Structure 1
Amino acid sequence: MTAISVRGIALGIESFGDDDAPLVLLVGGTTMLSWPDALCERLAAGGRRAVRYDLRDSGESTTTDPEAPAYTLRDLAADAAALADALGGRPAHLAGIGVGGMVAQVAALDHPGAFSALTLVGTRAVAPGPPDDDLPGHDGATMSRLFARPMPDWADREAVAEFAAAGAEILGDDPVAARAVAARVWDRTPGTAVPVRMANQLGMVFSRLDCGPRWRERLPAIEVPTLVVHGRRDRFFPVGNGEAIAREIPGARLLVLEEAATAIPGAAIGRITEAMLALG
């Protein structure tokens, strides 16, 4: 892992594969560890350079104040284009997961020359907050269970890992995998302040981020090959959100993972990687 300076900030990256291979840029959601090691390794084995990176205020990237971010969603999109340029990989295949998928959509729209393909995993086409009337919102019962839990002692690595595991079980994800990832995220968090811990573990910075203006109505302007991946059992962003994106981006392919929820399960990595490689 290392960091690259773009647009006056540092972005933490990790690269897999030959530096001269076609670039697949993986937007963290919010940290790079949202993208499983095995998926990055398979992309590299398929002849790509897979680079996953941390968004601002997470991991090895510049952390300032997650409670009052001085940047917008469109700034994060511009970061993606600048990073692709700095890595010498334009036009790159851009992939985003969760809130990283929102970054990827806006990046493809605002910087079309920077990207040759787009993969969107477990995301939606509107900003955090209430969805459009025709889109399914978060599952109410699941959210009630998630937010009824007391926060952990953020200074206690094991407590944070257990909190993540319990949340994954509520969401329908693998608690063992979630525990391991949370521990790795904890180890990489650049500060001990609670807002910094929460930004890394929960992506809470996005609840304070300016995500305007709307971009859903612009999706038909995306002209690059696009793959939309969504878990049938996703209770956070239900599958109707992925279906809407696939309808609105011309020619997009929708890959619904019947047994998946919010995270990428190990059993689906092969299918996802094969579909990503097929985009070019």
Structure 2
Amino acid sequence: MVTETMLPVNGIQMCVETFGEPIDPPLLLLAADASSMDWWDDEFCRRLAAGRRFVIRYDHRDTGRSTSYPAGEPAYSGADLMYDAIGVLDALRVPAAHLVGFSLGGALAQRVAVHHPSRVLSLTLISTSVDGEPPGNATVTVGGPVALSAGTVTAVVRTVEAPPATDETDWSNRKAAVARMIDEVRARGGPFTPGEPQLRRLAERVFDRSADLAASRVNHRLAGYGPPVRDLLGDIETPTVVLHGTLDRHIAAGHPEELARCIPGARLVWLDGVGHEFPPRAVWTQVLTEILALAA
């Protein structure tokens, strides 16, 4: 069963969608900055629900159908984004959930685990780092032996410079905005990144569901991630797995390694051939296995 609804959360309206049965263990998906819930693939969510999980995804404020603010004038902070995640659980009357966060979503999940540990059953942190992300134009070297759940492989060593972000795109223009989103996904992806037709369908959906893509693009960056939590991660007692692509051009390999060291008992699992992207279909079996095993 799939249900989409608008819910009052922290004084705003948030668009929330659920998959599966409410009697199953709840699992909350937290997307990246400037990313609506559409980036969590529908079939990926259905497969999680088929694993007997009550899957929840939502549009961050300033994305999708949730409340939007003028571009450059976010009336909220990174801490508010964290409280939105908790507010979604409150609105659904879910006392605690398994949290799965990608990029900014992973940073928010860390903060919920630190400041509100009773609300977190487990943590799956994907393509994220301690206290937010490094600059998008950082040069990254990735390689060496990487431990996968199925064994050990050797990744190709490469140095990549991600293209710098610009503000030249007219985000109110559907054709221009869709083309820019496709280019960005490709630039940060890897060999398993979806092809142009699938990315175009997704980007068009994102555009059509968004109140103001220009606001989506800048407001989360202005809001930031909230107060640092690096020194508090050692207090986390929640079962945690850190998933990271071997070809991530945006967040260097040292970041997930540090994250796994900081959180007691956390496991670091490399996704071979994956860039800085929502999990592509080629690694779904590995990612779903890790999430469902942790969220038992």
What is the TM-score normalised by the length of structure 2?
0.83
Other-structure match for 1:193: none
- Deviation, structure 1 residue 121: 0.9
Matched, 1:183 2:209: no
Residues 157-176 of structure 1: pairs in structure 2 closer than 5 A: 157-173=174-190, 174=193, 175-176=195-196
- In structure 2, do the counterparts of structure 1 residues 26 and 33 end up closer, same or farther at CA, with 3 Å as the change threshold? same
Higher helix share: 1
- Deviation, structure 1 residue 34: 2.4
The gaps in structure 1 that reach 5 residues or longer are 191-195
- In structure 2, do the counterparts of structure 1 residues 137 and 111 end up closer, same or farther at CA, with 3 Å as the change threshold? farther
CA distance in 2, matches of 1:67, 1:138: 28
What is the TM-score normalised by the length of structure 1?
0.87
Provide the secondary structure at the position in 1 that maps to 2:98.
Answer: strand
CA distance in 2, matches of 1:36, 1:171: 17
Matched, 1:12 2:18: no
* 1:157-196 deviation per Cα after TM superposition (whole angstroms, max 9, x unaligned): 2322222222222223425243332211101011xxxxx3
Other-structure match for 2:172: 155
- Contact persistence 1:78–1:111 (CA under 8 A): no
* 1:77-128 deviation per Cα after TM superposition (whole angstroms, max 9, x unaligned): 1221222122122211011111111111111111111111111111111235
- In structure 2, do the counterparts of structure 1 residues 147 and 8 end up closer, same or farther at CA, with 3 Å as the change threshold? closer
- Contact persistence 2:14–2:65 (CA under 8 A): yes
CA distance in 1, matches of 2:76, 2:91: 20
Residues 181-260 of structure 1: pairs in structure 2 closer than 5 A: 181-190=202-211, 196-200=212-216, 203-260=217-274
2:38 to 33, 40, 47: 33
CA distance in 2, matches of 1:185, 1:237: 24
Aligned length: 267
CA distance in 1, matches of 2:224, 2:256: 22
Other-structure match for 2:51: 46
Other-structure match for 1:2: 5
- Between the aligned residues of both structures, percent identity stands at 36
1:107 to 102, 112, 118: 112
The gaps in structure 2 that reach 5 residues or longer are 141-158
For 1:273, the aligned partner's letter is L
For 1:197, the aligned partner's letter is L
Higher strand share: 2
Residues 129-140 of structure 1: pairs in structure 2 closer than 5 A: 137=138, 139=140
Matched, 1:88 2:93: yes
* 1:204-251 deviation per Cα after TM superposition (whole angstroms, max 9, x unaligned): 322211434211121111111111111110101123211211111111
